[in-house]
Amino acid sequence: MSKDQEQIGWSMPELASRVALDLEDGWFVNLGIGLPTLVADYIPEGKEIILHSENGLLGLGPKPESGEEDWNLVNAGKEPITLKPGGSFFSQSESFAMIRGGHLDAAILGAFQVSQFGDLASWKLPNATLGRVGGAMDLTAGSKRVFLFMQHTSKQGPKIVEECTYPLTTPRCVDRIYTNLAIIDVTETGLVVLELAPNVSFEYVQEHTAAPLKLHVGLQKETIGVQQ
Q: Write out pLDDT tens, residues 179-220.
A: 999 999 999 999 999 999 999 999 999 999 999 999 998 876
| Mean pLDDT of all residues in 167-186 | 97
- Which of 17-21, 122-126, 127-131 has the highest mean predicted lDDT (pLDDT)? 17-21
- Which residues lie closer than 8 Å to 20 by C-beta, 6 or more apart? 39, 42, 43, 44, 49
Answer yes or no: are the C-beta atoms of 226 and 199 closer than 8 Å. Answer: yes
Q: Which one of 54, 65, 162, 222 is the catalytic residue?
A: 54
| pLDDT (0 to 100) of residue 144 | 98
Answer yes or no: are the C-beta atoms of 32 and 109 closer than 8 Å. Answer: yes
Report d(CA 27, CA 122) in Å as an integer.
24
Q: What is the pLDDT of residues 34-58, one digit of tens each?
A: 999 999 999 999 999 999 999 999 9
Q: Put the strands of the sheet holding 120-121 in their side by side order.
A: 120-121, 113-115, 160-161
Report d(CA 25, CA 21) in Å as an integer.
10
Q: Is the pLDDT of residue 68 over 60?
A: yes
Regarding predicted confidence, which is higher, 11 or 126?
11
| pLDDT (0 to 100) of residue 37 | 95
Q: pTM of the predicted model, to two decimals?
A: 0.91
Answer yes or no: are the C-beta atoms of 213 and 193 closer than 8 Å. Answer: yes
Q: What is the pLDDT of residues 79-100, one digit of tens each?
A: 999 999 999 999 999 999 999 9
Regarding beta strands 157-158 and 153-154, do their DSSP bridges make them parallel or antiparallel, or are they unpaired?
antiparallel
Q: Is 222 a catalytic residue?
A: no
pLDDT band at 127 (very low <50, low <70, confident <90, very high): confident
